[in-house]
Amino acid sequence: MSSSFHQKSLDLLSEQLGSKGIHINSLISKIATFQIAVPSWALGAGGTRFGRFSIGGEPRNLEEKLEDIGLLAKLTKRTDAVSLHIPWDIPQDVQAIRQKAADLQISFDAMNSNTFQDYGQPLSYKMGSLSNADPAIRKQAVEHNLQVIEIGKSLGSKGLTVWLADGSNFPGQAHIRKALQWTTESLKEIYASLPADWKLLLEYKPYEPNFYHTVIPDWGTSALICRQLGDRAKVLVDLGHHLPNTNIEQIVATLMHQNLLAGFHFNDSKYGDDDLSTGSVKPYQLFLIFCELIGGAEENAQTWESISWMIDASHNTKDPLEDLIQALEAISQAYAKALLVDRKKLALCQNEGDVVGAQEVLQDAFLTDVRTLVCEARIQSGGEADPLAFYRKEKIRAKLIAQRGKGAQASGL
């Protein structure tokens, strides 16, 4: 995109929005400050249970993962934090890692515990972790989470994300009520060890790897547990962790209304937990989710400030850095479009029962081309006008392969 064409597009959009009473500079400022964390595990080639295909030049250690996120931050100006997964990313030298992150202007988002893989642990999680019938295994899983908290404290993180693979594949395999009870009791132990300025983000998933029942299958169960833990325990929404056609925006609105929304893991899906690129399949749903988020923030600004934002997707057929660039752009565009919704007009239509009018208000915002707006926010922040084009033009993947090796695979996965 030439600078002259970009400026003409920006001027045209400014005039169009100005006629509706929307100040473009205010929008640009909001877009520029909206940052989304990148998980350390998203920097290597993704995969499925059937296979993983390396693309070469992947980060071989935590230091190189930080370098890749620093590159994304420099190009896109949309990310300034990393979310680590333990034990995949245990820092060998905490001070060196903190300095590396500081040099790259990267902070540490919520830490992620792992009780779905044994990793040489003395006791197996085959029949569950925090919900296991064996108290020794539950104790081991709790202690792992406490270790994650300690590592997070040393890095300056302020949150712990807990996702459980616990559940069963066959009727009668597990005592469903006791499994939930044991999970809640285990989480109470973990919550009691959280620093006062931390929060616990409790994720849910309806199925996989267990297909008869999962201990925390939905937002309601997660919220139920969080209520029993304390006001710093809230629900984490992974966009892919829902059954087909679930109204995710309603879930988001409900959680915001109850001040129980901890954050998001952004991705997309066609059938189930596909972990596809954010906005690649259901961009209108992503827009509607942001509409509810912004509406909730207008009613209670503090709820917005407390939300964590992170990408969590699998890209087994893509260059992971290209996928992350696309995801950051899709999220920014959905956010920008939601900012354009005429809230006063929408409220009027809702109060008067004008269904057609309400739909037109949303469609008007969604169909507005905000790419120029998002681009300008990035340029003003010092990023590239077109990060993906720059990445390809500079042959960055080829440079990473030359530096790290064609057979280099991401560490810890």
363-401 tens-digit pLDDT: 999 999 999 999 999 999 999 999 999 999 999 999 999
CA distances from 70 to 42, 152, 398 (A): 14, 20, 18
User: Does 245 score more than 90 pLDDT?
Assistant: yes
Tokens of 212: 């008869």
Strands ordered across the beta sheet of 159-162: 111-112, 159-162, 199-203, 233-238, 261-266, 308-311
Q: Give residue-wise pLDDT tens across range 19-31.
A: 888 889 999 999 9
User: Does 413 score more than 70 pLDDT?
Assistant: no
Q: Give residue-wise pLDDT tens across range 52-72.
A: 788 999 999 999 999 999 999
Range 253-282 average pLDDT: 94
pLDDT on residue 13: 87
Residue whose entry in the numeric block shows the structure tokens 């949303």: 362
Strand partners, 276: 268
Tell whether omega for the bond before 387 is within 30 degrees of 0, i.e. cis. Answer: no
Helices marked H in 265-339 — which ranges? 283-299, 301-305, 320-339
User: Does 315 score more than 80 pLDDT?
Assistant: no
pLDDT on residue 3: 82
pLDDT on residue 303: 82
Least Cα distance to 263 among 179, 195, 359, 199 occurs for 199
Tokens of 291: 């509409």
- pTM for this one? 0.95
**pLDDT tier for residue 1 given thresholds of 50, 70 and 90:** low
CATH code reported for the domain at 35-330 = 3.20.20.150
Least Cα distance to 343 among 285, 304, 299 occurs for 299
pLDDT on residue 273: 86
The number of angstroms, rounded, from the C-alpha of 377 to the middle of its chain's C-alpha atoms is 21
* Phi, psi dihedral angles at 383 (to 5 degrees): -90, -175
Q: Give residue-wise pLDDT tens across range 231-243.
A: 999 999 999 999 9
